[in-house]
Homo-oligomer: A and B are copies of this chain.
Amino acid sequence: MEKYLEYTKVFKALGDPKRAMIVDMLSCGELCACMILEKFEMSQSTLSHHMKILCECGLVKGREEGKWTYYSLDADAISKTKQFFCNITSDKENCICKENINGCRGCGENE
């Protein structure tokens, strides 16, 4: 159950087009906040807020260097997320849907 919460946080972060674009931008390497800001019509505080969400879910890491902050993707978080997505979308043994659930006549027990 906590596993779901952990990853739904990541999906929630990606569930905003601007944040998804930011991830896309970062996919080729580190960028400082000011560079990301240039590419969006968005106030500086709004960008900072989006970056915080991306960092808090683990997908992005921030590295401070002097007055600048450089952001980059966290490869480990990304591969774990990919795996989680594959997990919840592919067939497996002992899945809930294979249990015999009583009281639901729509599930094939008495037809």
Interface residues of A (CB under 8 A from B): 1, 4-5, 7-9, 11-17, 20-21, 23-35, 38-39, 67-68, 70, 73, 78, 81-82, 85-92, 95-98, 101, 103-104, 106-107
Contacts and interface: CB of A to CB of B under 8 A. Distances in A.
Contact of A78 (B20, B73, B89): B89
Nearest 3 pairs of A and B residues by beta carbon: A12-B15, A28-B95, A68-B106
Interface SS of chain A: helix
A36 B108 CA distance: 14
A11 B4 contact: no
A8 B4 contact: no
Given A32-B107, A104-B32, A88 B23 contact: yes
Most interface-central of A1, A15, A31, A95 (chain B CB within 10 A):
A15
A38 B88 contact: no
Contacts of A7: 20
Contact of A27 (B5, B15, B89): B89
